[in-house]
Amino acid sequence: MPIKLPSFRPRRDAYPPDLWTKCPSCGEMLFNKQLDKVLRVCPSCGHHFRLSAEARIEMLLDAGSFAERDAGLESEDPLGFVDQKAYPDRIAAAQLATGMRDAAVWGTGTIDGRPVVVCVMDFGFMGGSMGAVVGEKVTRAAEHALVARVPLFVVAASGGARMQEGTLSLMQLAKTVGALERLRAAGVPFLSLLSDPTTGGVFASFAVLGDVNIAEPNALIGFAGARVSAGTIAQELPPGFQRSEFLFQHGFLDRVVHRSELRSEVSSLLRFLVARPAPLVEDRTDGDPLGLPSFRALSFLSNLAERVLPTESEIAGATNGHSSSPATPTTPTTASTTATPTTPSTPATPTTPSAPATAPVRASQPAPMSAPSPTPEATTTPEPVPGATSSEEASRG
């Protein structure tokens, strides 16, 4: 029994918006509780409603697996920006309305048991615009994915860069893309989900760069806003312009996926997109053109050698000679113990010239994997075998 108090209603077709939602596509009135059950997709026309970051995480990740990181990041007002409202006031209002600190959250979680690093944006917070905090969160997520060697999954929902932070927000494009380039060089997968809407600087930076790009049906995805396009060039825009299907047709999306199938699609993609293990060998061989982490790995290796070599020679000097080297040392890293005996013995072995060259490289590969395993068994595990045998050959000769 609705109370007829028309003067309190702002418009004729108003409705209690916390109970009912009107589908903007087909005009159907949808009961919110029902809508939540079907992942906020209109049952009659398939319109995908926008999701809050919280709902998105709940929908995509295993229940209770999400652990948020850096929840305390909050924007500052570096420009002292005031339009019709001061920027800090806008932030405060958005925080009150959404319960978020800024337009993105990031953290770790699992999808069907597979670990992922996720970063999810929320269009409800100032149009999902990317300022320093969003840029920082995406970057930190990428950096964490790089260190943990876990796939990165970013859900974009944004109007673009945040004007209130001026060029500082523009530089977030460079910041996020720079971090993703490192991820790419290291062979850690990056999955990008473009939801409605993904435009402007967010689309033109990390969102478009996914190793696999997925979008929801009919999502608005584009570089310039449709009004800007139409205004600047004064020409008719084609139907379906800047929608998921348009981008799919032009080859910028891998898949357009209905929300009900999204989770299983992502899960099956994650079965294929697995981070490349052990960066050390690759960095040695092709690190030069790819660049970024190569010198770190090498310095890590040389540090390792410096730490291990003197003790090794001391031990070798104390217990007479080369033959005992695989068994006696109790240093935790098998790679260095198997690799180091080759170097002193190389001048004496003209028989196997290739062995010393390949041995340190091969042996260094399993180092991070076999590090926890105790040294004596290491020679019997399958991976260190080539390194160990070659060193044995070298020391025998």
Partner 1 sequence: MVDRFRGRGRDAAARAATDDPPAPAPARDPKAETWARVQLARNLRRPRILDLLPELAEEFVEIHGDRLFGDDEAVVTGFARIGDRRVVVVGQQKGADTEENIRRNFGMPHPEGYRKAMRVMELAERFGLPVVTFVDVPGAHPGPESEERGIAEAIARSIGLMSRLRTPIVVVITGEGGSGGALAIAVGDVVIALENAVYSVISPEGCASILWRTADEAPTAAVAMKMTAPDQQALGIIDIVIPEPGEGAHTDHAETARRIRAVVVDQLDALAAVPLDELVEARYRRFRTIGAFREVEAPPPVIPERPGLADRLRNLLDPGRWSGISTIPAGRRDELPARDEV
Query: Least separation, in Å, of the C-beta of 300 and partner 1?
Result: 14
Spatial distance between the Cα atoms of 301 and 295, rounded to a whole number of angstroms: 10
Query: Least separation, in Å, of the C-beta of 116 and partner 1?
Result: 22
Query: Least separation, in Å, of the C-beta of 9 and partner 1?
Result: 9
Complex with partner 1: residue 139 or 334, whichever CB lies closer:
139
Complex with partner 1: residue 63 or 234, whichever CB lies closer:
234
Residue 292: C-alpha distances to residues 139, 145, 165, 301 (Å): 16, 16, 29, 16
Complex with partner 1: residue 55 or 369, whichever CB lies closer:
55
Residue 56: C-alpha distances to residues 40, 53, 120, 134, 259 (Å): 11, 5, 7, 17, 10
Query: Least separation, in Å, of the C-beta of 146 and partner 1?
Result: 12
Alpha-carbon torsion (136, 137, 142, 143), positive or negative: positive
Q: Which residues contact 247 (CB under 8 A, 6 or more apart)?
A: 215, 221, 253
Query: Least separation, in Å, of the C-beta of 159 and partner 1?
Result: 4
Complex with partner 1: residue 176 or 379, whichever CB lies closer:
176
Cβ pair 148, 109 in contact under 8 A: no
Complex with partner 1: residue 20 or 319, whichever CB lies closer:
20
Complex with partner 1: residue 10 or 347, whichever CB lies closer:
10
Spatial distance between the Cα atoms of 52 and 194, rounded to a whole number of angstroms: 14
DSSP conformational letter for 279: -
Q: Which amino acid is at 305?
A: A
**DSSP structure string for 313-362:** HHHHHHTTSSTTTTTS---S-HHHHHHTTHHHHGGG--S-SHHHHHHHHH
Query: Least separation, in Å, of the C-beta of 13 and partner 1?
Result: 13
